């Protein structure tokens, strides 16, 4: 079996090194290498409003005119007896063998003359050489930039109108100058043979790979760039050179996964990843070797999952940002694990992590009951192997001495109990959520690298079933037949890029594996999804009670028009084992994109005219699923042309009623009307990094006060806002996280932001004055075993309305708090533990 980058091998090597000789621990990076960007409360910045791609968007499609799929398309499959697709050692990666030139290739249907636009690009076809010679920057840049029609994707308006999937075969690509990645692009190395992007000895520039696309405006709106299965190498440069291997100040929808960064050891100048600003939610499965600093972070909020740091001076340094989760991070022979002495990071949780043969684990600037109360820390389930201290303050005083393992240790605001200066707790974890070593289970996105082409079905080349993906045809009947057959045959289903409109529910049966090119889109349309009194799933994964496999990756789920009765993604199925049911790197968008009329029709401040979806994601009571890097976005602006602002009311974000086991790893949910997350009688939930924003048109002066224009419905566990006065607009605002009853709930790093109050006209410069809303989160129904570590809020009076302690921002400051904004910051909430 040809494997992906072997982190396990590195672990084994590291363990071997421990037994044999103790490697020399590099010195921590000198702090002068940092450029601090503390939380500054500047809030939202103006995105660039793109006019759309050159030539405009093809607006000829009116969803209500799309005829229903023909009724004579039926599922003809006979159930095969198979236990899953068959692995092998394929000679090349399946996706390169797909036909990328014929009719069954990906098309971007919402640009005019769409058939001339290449979605798929192999850098070798653009003149790149993978033999380590020359300078390949221009050729790779050309593969990223071209629109195939003489134009350049470097301008704005191409996030969803001109999506691209850029493939980089194995080999070494030498770069003399910086490579600029683009939005709307999956850049994918061959997972069987990851390519090396290598700085030439004569490389000139401050950054080798730049993931931030300035065409969007600020890093906070640099959406939809994925970089996977690559090795970035700066070892040809002197260790003293100041260079960043990867600039990753990017936003939601972005994916960084299965990336290895190699830098010289004992370096004073190399930085692996500079997350300078931005608002991304997940950085996963990264190995960083050498360098002065492995990761330098000031992004608003991130789940850093499975990061292996080896021989770094300082593994991770925060110069800003509000809440960060380091999950299953390893510091192997690093000078310093985490540096929280330079800027003002809000809070940090170090979870399920390991320090091997390294210096101090965390060095931090102490906060106390006076001052900014930043750099608050939770350390939970740490394994530690030497006599160096675990937590040391900036004056060099040890606050947590060496010990083999730590259950839970906190420094910062806690409820109940108030500010804690180094307190130990126990956290009683539910075994259903853990792997064999007692860590919370995680799983990386599938690459299907071990499957040959004959294990795949391309939905656009199934004999007898016409599938268009053109944004203008109801593909539901053919797709339902193909998915049923593929599951019965144990095949993996490949969606070339396209907009697959479904006017009836798309059913994803047990045994399904779905993977998209460039975030292929399934988009609901039509009357089936318009009845608010009878909401229906657009995509339904399994039936209640089903047990089996369902994997979804690199897809996007959307609505082609306002659909008040649409449950965009409903998961009913449970896995037999953790990870059997999973959704990775697959956003749900409601408005803002090329394929929906919402970008032109939703401008009325009375949002009853644009009730765009009922629920974005519903994890029903029978489900058990793993979600990683899933972003639910109700648009606040149009990414690819349309009206200058957009005013949308989408009812509910993610509703979790599951009880068996649910894992939410690096997810976000923004601008949903009643709540962004609702755990309603849910049990056994791990949620690591939940990012939310309240709808911009709620609060004082809102045209409609929640729940209006929706009706709170107990069938769906809706919060009814009965605790608010009838006309109280600051109280009748979306809840970031609503928890009602349930038990064994483990929340880490909730990032809950409010910026504006209604009406919404697209003016990002005018934020609400004072606080935008009263309550940010809410707990009711006395849940059992609720543990919540790392709560960060912006501009709400109360962090958590719970009827008990009701922690307030004034008593739990930090994070966004500054002279001009208010913020709440709390490391431990154990009111119901
Ligand atoms: C469905 O009917 C149409 C005409 O009504 C025909 O052209 C088409 O081949 C039929 N499709 C199938 C799968 O039978
Ligand atoms: C791709 O499909 C087209 C027809 O759709 C065909 O002409 C071409 O030969 C195919 N290419 C490969 C590599 O199979
Ligand atoms: C616009 O989209 C329609 C419907 O998909 C298609 O028939 C037409 O060819 C497209 N127009 C152009 C100029 O591409
Ligand atoms: C974008 O592309 C245009 C046309 O090729 C070129 O003139 C311009 O310099 C490019 N800008 C950037 C920032 O790459
Ligand atoms: C990180 O990126 C930001 C934005 O480009 C830049 O200002 C800063 O200098 C970078 N940090 C380093 C150490 O290069
Ligand atoms: C831990 O949680 C389990 C339920 O998952 C419960 O039965 C047990 O009593 C708890 N233990 C402690 C010490 O709270
Ligand atoms: C933790 O990371 C290591 C490598 O750093 C990996 O081997 C292991 O599978 C990860 N564990 C979990 C629970 O993700
Ligand atoms: C609540 O939802 C159920 C099921 O969709 C529906 O039948 C009922 O009418 C709804 N109730 C209200 C008050 O909207
Ligand atoms: C509400 O609107 C009134 C009238 O336009 C304005 O004076 C006031 O400042 C607004 N309040 C807020 C909180 O925006």
Mean of pLDDT over the chain: 93
CB 271 within 8 A of CB 240: no
Tens of pLDDT, residue by residue over 286-312, are: 999 999 999 999 999 999 999 999 999
pLDDT in tens, 516-529: 999 999 999 999 99
Question: How distant, in Å, are the alpha carbons of 321, 496, 737, 781, 786 from that of 374?
Answer: 10, 46, 22, 32, 24
Lowest-confidence pick of 339-353, 736-750, 807-821: 807-821
pLDDT at 74: 78
With the C-alpha atoms ordered 771, 772, 775, 776, is the resulting torsion angle positive or negative?
negative
- Cα of 768 to ligand 9 centre, how many Å? 10
Got the DSSP string for 353-413?
-EEES-S-SEEEPPP-SSS---SEEEEEEEEE-SSS-SEEETTS-EEE---SEEEEEEEE-
Residues 268 and 27: their CA atoms lie apart, in Å, by 9
pLDDT at 80: 66
The residue-averaged pLDDT of 216-231 equals: 94
Q: Please work out whether the CB of residue 687 comes within 6 Å of at least one atom of ligand 3.
A: no
pLDDT tens string 157-206? 789 999 999 999 999 999 999 999 999 999 999 999 999 999 999 999 99
Task: Give Cβ neighbours of residue 214 (< 8 Å, ≥ 6 apart).
Answer: 222
Reading phi first (left if > 0) and then psi (alpha if -120 to 50, else beta), residue 542 is in left
Q: Which range among 3-12, 324-333, 575-584 shows the weakest confidence by mean pLDDT?
A: 3-12
Query: pLDDT at residue 742 above 80?
Result: yes
- The pLDDT, as a whole number, for residue 560 is 98
CA 746 – CA 688 distance, rounded (Å): 8
Phi, psi of 12 (to 5 degrees): -60, -45
Q: What is the pLDDT of residue 55?
A: 80
Burial class (CB in 10 A: 0-12, 13-18, 19+), 779: buried
The DSSP code for 131 is: B
Residue nearest to atom 5 of ligand 6 (CA): 430
Which ligand neighbours the alpha carbon of 756 most closely? 9
Nearest residue CA, atom 6 of ligand 4? 152
Span 467-517, pLDDT tens digits: 999 999 999 999 999 999 999 999 999 999 999 999 999 999 999 999 999
Do residues 258 and 229 touch, judged by C-beta distance below 8 A? yes
pLDDT at site 154: 85
Check residue 35 and give its pLDDT. 40
Tell me, in angstroms, the distance from the centre of ligand 2 to residue 523's CA: 28
CB of 744 within 6 A of ligand 6: the answer is yes
For residue 785, the ligand 6 atom closest to its alpha carbon is 2
Ligand number nearest to the C-alpha of 63: 3
318-339 average pLDDT score? 97
How far apart CA 591 and CA 106 sit, in angstroms, is 22
The better pLDDT of the pair 757, 156 is held by 757
187 in Cβ contact with 166 (< 8 Å):
yes
Ligand 5 centroid – CA 247 distance (Å): 8
Select the more confidently predicted residue: 367 or 402: 402
The tokens for 86 are 């068959």
* Ligand 2 atom nearest to 100, measured from its CA: 1
Q: How far apart are CA 348 and CA 41, in angstroms?
A: 18
Query: Count of residues for the chain?
Result: 833
Instruction: Extract the tokens encoding 369.
Output: 């009951």
If you measure from the C-alpha of residue 625 to the centroid of ligand 7, how many angstroms do you get, rounded to a whole number?
19
Ligand 5: centre distance to CA 816 (Å): 21
Q: Which atom of ligand 9 is nearest to the CA of 699?
A: 13
CB atoms within 10 A of CB 713: 17
Q: Which atom of ligand 9 is nearest to the CA of 700?
A: 13
Could you tell me the pLDDT band of residue 145, with boundaries at 50, 70 and 90? very high
Q: Determine the distance separating the centroid of ligand 7 and the alpha carbon of 744, expressed in angstroms.
A: 23
Q: Is the shortest distance between the CB of 214 and ligand 9 below 6 Å? A: no
Does ligand 9 come within 6 angstroms of the Cβ of 193? no
Among 328, 352, 445, 628, the mutation site with the greatest number of ligand 7 atoms within 8 A of its Cβ is 328
DSSP assignment string, 89-121: --SS-HHHHS-SSSTTS---TTBTTGGG--SEE
Tokens found for residue 123: 């850098």
Ligand that comes closest to the CA of residue 110: 3
Beta bridge partners of 316: 295, 338
List the one residue out of 250, 249, 293, 252 whose CA is nearest residue 269.
293
| 321-356 burial code (b ≥16 CB/10 A, e <16) | bbbbbbbbbbbbbbbbbbbbbbbbbbbbbbbbbbbb
CA-proximal residue: ligand 3, atom 3 (nearest) = 60
Predicted confidence band of residue 757 (pLDDT cuts 50, 70, 90): very high
Residue bearing tokens 């953790």:
578
Beta bridge partners of 657: none
Cβ of 152 closer than 6 Å to ligand 4, yes or no, is yes
CA dist., res. 307 & res. 310, Å (int): 10
Residue 537 has pLDDT above 60, yes or no: yes
User: How far apart, in Å, are the Cα atoms of 664 and each of 139, 326, 746, 754?
Assistant: 38, 15, 10, 22
Give the pLDDT mean for 321-346. 96
Q: Classify burial at 685, counting beta carbons within 10 Å of its beta carbon; exposed 0-12, middle 13-18, buried 19 or more.
A: buried
pLDDT computed for residue 375 by the predictor: 96
CA–centroid distance, 441 to ligand 1, in Å, is 47
Domain edges within the chain: 57-85+431-574+614-628+647-658
**Ligand 4 atom nearest to CA at 215:** 13
Ligand nearest to the CA of 771: 9
pLDDT higher than 90, residue 216: no
Distance from residue 739's CA to the centre of ligand 8 (Å): 21
Ligand 2 mean position to 562 CA, how many Å?
38
Question: Does the CB atom of residue 65 touch ligand 3 within 6 A?
Answer: no
The residue whose CA is least distant from atom 6 of ligand 2 is 102
**Is residue 701 in contact with ligand 9, taking CB distance under 6 Å?**
yes
pLDDT given at position 43: 64
Distance CA 353, CA 442 (A): 13
Residue 377 CA: distances (Å) to CA of 13, 188, 337: 30, 35, 13
CA separation for the pair 388, 770 (Å, rounded): 45
> 715 C-alpha vs ligand 8 centroid, how far in Å?
7
Q: Which two tokens stand for residue 247?
A: 């600039």
- For the ranges 87-96, 215-224, 372-381, 536-545, the lowest mean pLDDT is seen at 215-224
- Nearest ligand for residue 212 CA: 5
**Which of 288, 306, 429, 444 maximizes ligand 7 atoms within 8 Å of its Cβ, making it the mutation to test the pocket?**
306
Give the confidence band of 4 by pLDDT, cuts at 50, 70, 90: very low
Residue 196 is encoded by which pair of tokens? 């090396």
Q: What's phi and psi for 389, nearest 5 deg?
A: -70, 160
Non-local (6+) Cβ contacts of 714 within 8 A are none
CA nearest ligand 4 atom 13, residue: 154
CA dihedral 817, 821, 826, 831 (to 10 degrees): 150
**What secondary structure letter does DSSP report for 140?**
H
Which one of 244, 248, 299, 316 would you pick to mutate in the ligand 5 pocket, going by the greatest count of ligand atoms within 8 A of its CB? 244
What confidence category does residue 46 fall into, taking pLDDT thresholds of 50, 70 and 90?
Answer: confident
Minimal CA–CA distance to 516: which of 478, 562, 482, 554?
554
Residue 81: per-residue pLDDT: 73
Q: How far is the CA of 245 from the centre of ligand 5 (A)?
A: 11
**SS3 annotation, 726-739:** CCCCCCCCCEEEEE
Residue nearest atom 2 of ligand 7, based on CA coordinates: 306
Asked if residues 532 and 562 have their Cβ atoms less than 8 Å apart, the reply is no
* Residue with CA closest to ligand 9 atom 8: 701
Q: What is the pTM of this model?
A: 0.95
Q: Cα(268) to centroid of ligand 7, in Å?
A: 29
Supply angle C-alpha 76, 79, 85, rounded to 5.
Answer: 110
Six-digit token pair at 250? 């990017």
For residue 493, how far is its CA from the centre of ligand 1 (angstroms)? Answer: 24
**Distance (Å, rounded) from C-alpha 389 to C-alpha 391?**
6
Taking only Cα atoms into account, the Rg of the chain, rounded to an integer number of angstroms, comes to: 25
Smallest CA-to-CA distance from 755 within 42, 115, 19 is with 42
Residue 120, Ramachandran bin (φ over 0: left; ψ between -120 and 50: alpha; else beta): beta
How far apart are alpha carbons 38 and 40 in whole angstroms?
6
Q: Is 116 in the pocket of ligand 3 (CB under 6 A)?
A: no
pLDDT score recorded for residue 672: 98
Whether residue 759 has a cis bond before it, omega within 30° of 0: yes
Strand duo 611-619 + 566-571: pairing: parallel
81-90, 122-131, 531-540, 824-833: least confident range:
81-90
Q: Residue 3 above 50 pLDDT?
A: no
Least reliable range by pLDDT among 149-158, 646-655, 676-685, 696-705: 149-158
Is the CB of 76 inside a 6 Å radius of any atom of ligand 1?
no
Does any ligand 1 atom lie closer than 6 A to the CB of residue 463?
A: no
Q: Cα(275)–Cα(247) distance, rounded to whole angstroms? A: 6
Q: Under a CB-based contact definition with an 8 Å cutoff, are residues 320 and 38 in contact?
A: yes
The answer to which of 34-43, 127-136, 203-212, 516-525 has the lowest mean pLDDT is 34-43
Q: Which residue has the higher pLDDT, 62 or 416?
A: 416
Test site for ligand 3: of 52, 112, 162, 501, most ligand atoms within 8 A of the Cβ: 112
Q: What's the pLDDT at 202? A: 95
User: What is the reported pLDDT for 368?
Assistant: 83
In this prediction, residue 2 carries a pLDDT of 39
Question: How far is the centre of ligand 8, averaged over its atoms, from the C-alpha of 524 (Å)?
Answer: 21
- Other residues' Cβ atoms within 10 Å of the Cβ of residue 375: 28
Locus of tokens 């490697």 = 23
Q: Is ligand 4 within 6 A of the CB of residue 177?
A: no
Residue matched to tokens 């704005």: 156
For a pLDDT cut of 90, what percent of the chain falls above it? 87
The arithmetic mean of pLDDT across residues 657-682, rounded, is: 98
Query: What pLDDT was estimated at residue 54?
Result: 81
Distance 533 CA to ligand 8 centre (A): 5
Q: Rounded to the nearest whole angstrom, what is the distance from the C-alpha of residue 117 to the centroid of ligand 9?
A: 47
Contact residues for 175 (Cβ-Cβ < 8 A; gap 6+): 135, 136, 137, 140, 197, 198, 199, 200, 203, 208
Counting ligand 8 atoms within 8 A of each CB, the residue from 565, 674, 710, 715 with the most, and so the one to mutate, is 715
Structure tokens at 678: 């609702």
Output the residue whose Cα is nearest ligand 5's atom 3. 276
Among 40, 119, 13, CA closest to 818: 40
714: left (phi over 0), alpha (psi -120 to 50) or beta: alpha
- Among all bound ligands, the one having the nearest atom to the CA of 665 is 7
For residue 154, which ligand has an atom nearest its CA? 4
Q: Is the pLDDT of residue 725 over 60?
A: yes
Q: pLDDT by residue (tens digit) across 761-801?
A: 999 989 998 899 999 999 999 999 999 999 999 999 999 99
Q: How far is Cα 649 from Cα 771, in angstroms, rounded to an integer?
A: 21
| Cα 672 to middle of ligand 1, angstroms | 41
Mutate to test the pocket of ligand 4, among 140, 154, 214 (most ligand atoms within 8 A of CB): 154
């Amino acid at each position: 079996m040809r494997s992906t980058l072997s982190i396990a091998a590195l672990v084994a090597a590291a363990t071997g090194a421990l037994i044999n000789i103790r490697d020399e621990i590099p010195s921590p990076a000198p702090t002068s290498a940092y450029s601090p960007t503390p939380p500054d409360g500047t809030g939202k910045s103006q995105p660039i409003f793109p006019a759309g791609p050159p030539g405009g968007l093809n607006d000829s499609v009116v969803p209500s005119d799309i005829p229903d799929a023909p009724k004579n398309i039926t599922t003809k499959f006979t159930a095969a007896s198979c236990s899953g697709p068959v692995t092998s050692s394929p000679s090349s990666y399946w996706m390169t063998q797909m036909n990328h030139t014929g009719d069954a290739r990906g098309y971007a249907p919402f640009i005019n003359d769409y058939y001339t636009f290449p979605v798929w690009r192999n850098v070798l076809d653009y003149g790149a050489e993978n033999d380590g010679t020359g300078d390949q920057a221009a050729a790779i840049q050309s593969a990223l930039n071209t629109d195939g029609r003489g134009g350049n994707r470097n301008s704005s308006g191409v996030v969803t109108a001109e999506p691209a999937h850029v493939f980089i075969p194995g080999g070494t690509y030498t770069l003399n100058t910086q490579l600029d990645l683009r939005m709307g692009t999956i850049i994918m190395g061959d997972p069987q043979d990851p390519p090396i992007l290598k700085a030439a000895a004569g490389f000139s520039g401050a950054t080798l790979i730049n993931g931030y696309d300035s065409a969007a405006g600020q890093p906070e709106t640099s959406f939809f760039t994925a970089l996977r299965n690559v090795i970035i190498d700066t070892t040809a440069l002197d260790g003293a050179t100041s260079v960043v291997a990867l600039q990753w100040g990017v936003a939601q929808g972005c994916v960084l996964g299965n990336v290895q960064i190699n830098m010289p050891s004992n370096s004073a100048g190399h930085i692996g990843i500079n997350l300078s600003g931005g608002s991304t939610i997940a950085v996963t499965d990264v190995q960083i070797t050498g360098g002065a600093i492995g990761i330098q972070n000031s992004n608003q909020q991130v789940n850093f999952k499975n990061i292996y740091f080896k021989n770094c001076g300082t593994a991770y340094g925060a110069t800003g940002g509000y809440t960060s989760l380091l999950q299953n991070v390893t510091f192997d022979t690093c000078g310093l694990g985490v540096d929280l002495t330079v800027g003002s990071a809000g809070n940090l949780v170090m979870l399920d992590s390991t320090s091997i043969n390294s210096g101090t684990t965390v060095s931090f600037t102490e906060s106390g009951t006076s001052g900014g109360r930043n750099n608050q820390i939770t350390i939970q389930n740490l394994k530690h192997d030497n006599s160096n201290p675990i937590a040391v303050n900036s004056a060099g005083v040890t606050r947590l001495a060496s010990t083999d393992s730590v259950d839970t240790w906190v420094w910062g605001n806690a409820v109940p109990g108030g500010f804690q200066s180094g307190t130990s707790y126990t956290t009683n974890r539910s075994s259903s959520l853990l792997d064999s070593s007692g860590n919370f289970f995680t799983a990386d996105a599938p690459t299907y690298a071990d499957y040959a082409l004959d294990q795949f079905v391309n939905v656009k080349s199934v004999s007898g079933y016409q599938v268009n993906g053109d944004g203008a045809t109801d593909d539901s009947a053919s797709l339902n037949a193909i998915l049923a057959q593929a599951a019965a045959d144990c095949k993996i289903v490949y969606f070339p890029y396209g907009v697959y409109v479904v006017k009836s529910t798309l059913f994803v049966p047990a045994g399904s594996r779905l993977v998209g090119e460039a975030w292929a889109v399934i988009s609901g349309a039509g009357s089936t999804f318009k009845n608010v009194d009878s909401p229906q799933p657009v995509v339904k994964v399994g039936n209640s009670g089903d047990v089996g496999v369902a994997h979804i990756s690199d897809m996007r789920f959307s609505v082609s028009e306002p659909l008040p009765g649409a449950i965009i993604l409903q998961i009913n199925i449970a896995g037999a084992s953790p990870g059997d049911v999973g959704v990775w790197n697959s956003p749900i968008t409601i408005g803002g994109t090329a394929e929906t009329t919402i970008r032109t029709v939703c401008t009325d401040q009375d949002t009853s005219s644009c009730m765009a979806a009922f629920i974005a994601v519903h994890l029903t009571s029978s489900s058990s699923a793993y979600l990683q890097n899933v972003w639910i976005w109700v648009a606040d602006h149009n990414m690819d042309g349309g009206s200058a602002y957009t005013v949308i009311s989408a009812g509910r974000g993610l509703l979790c009623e599951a009880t068996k086991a649910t894992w939410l790893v690096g997810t976000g949910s923004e601008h949903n009307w009643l709540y962004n997350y609702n755990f309603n009688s849910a049990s056994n939930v791990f949620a690591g990094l939940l990012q939310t924003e309240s709808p911009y048109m709620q609060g004082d002066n809102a045209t409609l006060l929640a729940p209006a224009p929706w009706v709170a419905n107990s069938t769906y566990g809706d919060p009814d806002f009965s605790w608010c006065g009838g006309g109280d607009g600051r109280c009748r605002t979306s809840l970031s996280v609503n928890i009602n009853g349930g038990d064994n709930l483990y929340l880490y790093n909730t990032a809950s932001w409010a910026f504006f109050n209604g009406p919404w006209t697209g003016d990002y410069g005018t934020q609400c004055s004072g606080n935008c809303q009263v309550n940010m989160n809410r707990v009711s129904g006395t849940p059992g075993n609720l543990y919540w570590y790392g709560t960060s809020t912006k501009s709400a009076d109360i962090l958590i309305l719970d009827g008990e302690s009701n922690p307030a921002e004034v008593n739990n400051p930090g994070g966004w708090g500054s002279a001009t904004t208010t913020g709440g910051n709390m490391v431990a909430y154990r009111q119901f533990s």
